Amino acid sequence: MASLDNTSWSVPGLLVGLLLALNSGVLEVHGLEVSTGKVSSTDAMNGSTVLIPCTYSSCIGIHKLYFSWHFNDNGTMTKLCDGVVPSEGVEPKVKVERSRVEFVGSSKGHNISILLWNITFEDGGEYTCFARNPKEKYRNHSATFTLRVVDKMIEVDNTLTVVIVSVLGGVIGLVIIVMVIKALVVQFLLKDDEKNKECLVNASGNDNTENGLTGAKAESKGTPKA
């Protein structure tokens, strides 16, 4: 018998409880997820071709994974394409429901992305990527990608940024030049000061010699005896 929080549990009882928890989904294991990337929207020019990305992942694995793409057409969900990935590494069988739509995914990269050809303003809106995995008791997940169709791409004016960076660079360069000049001047002054000190020492030695004050005291001669 094992004791836990003053309650007696048997080892078989713990195992049964754990299995029941797993079976009922109390202990959740991260399973199927789909994603349209870190940036879930894009701007594209009218008449261009655009990629609508989507990938799936599952730590449990997949079997007959079903996926589909839908477009929110003013509140009506219109199917663009759908397909089934039989198993890991096996390419899916895809059925395209709408013109100008091309499936470009691959099971090797867990990729179920699509291309939209020659887009128009009517193609702007939300695109939903959906997947369902029978291996996980038909767990399903979806993600949405937003497409904005424009007549021209807006160019960002970086002139002000360039000017600010140039000014800052010039100021930093000037500060460095001033610091270098200051260091050279200080070094020059120190050397000049040392030369002046050396000159003073030499001059002082010369003056003492001329005055008869050598480093060694002169011997005083005694008065000759009579």
Spatial contact of 109 and 120, defined as CB atoms under 8 Å apart: no
The domain containing residue 184 runs over which residues? 157-196
- From 155, 145, 154, 138, select the one nearest 123 (Cα to Cα): 145
Same domain, 165 and 73: no
CATH of the domain at 123: 2.60.40.10
Domains contained in the chain, number: 2
Residue 213 placed within a domain: no
Same domain, 134 and 165: no
Residue 24 placed within a domain: no
> Exposed (0-12), middle (13-18) or buried (19+): which is 176, by Cβ within 10 Å?
exposed
What is the value of pTM for the model shown?
0.58
Which residues are within 8 A (CB) of 203 and not within 5 positions of it... i.e. 6 or more apart? none
- Measured in whole angstroms, the distance separating CA 47 from the mean position of its chain's CA atoms is 32
Instruction: Report the distance separating Cα 94 and Cα 114, nearest Å.
Output: 11
Location of structure tokens 């270098």:
180
Helix (H, G, I), strand (E, B) or coil at 15: helix
Task: List the chain pLDDT tens, one digit each, 226 residues.
Answer: 444 444 344 545 544 454 454 454 444 556 899 999 999 999 999 999 999 999 999 999 999 999 999 999 999 999 999 999 999 999 999 999 999 999 999 999 999 999 999 999 999 999 999 999 999 999 999 999 999 999 987 665 566 667 787 788 888 988 899 888 988 888 878 777 776 666 666 666 655 555 554 444 445 555 555 4
Instruction: Report the distance separating Cα 154 and Cα 114, nearest Å.
Output: 25
Same domain, 48 and 138: yes
> Exposed (0-12), middle (13-18) or buried (19+): which is 206, by Cβ within 10 Å?
exposed
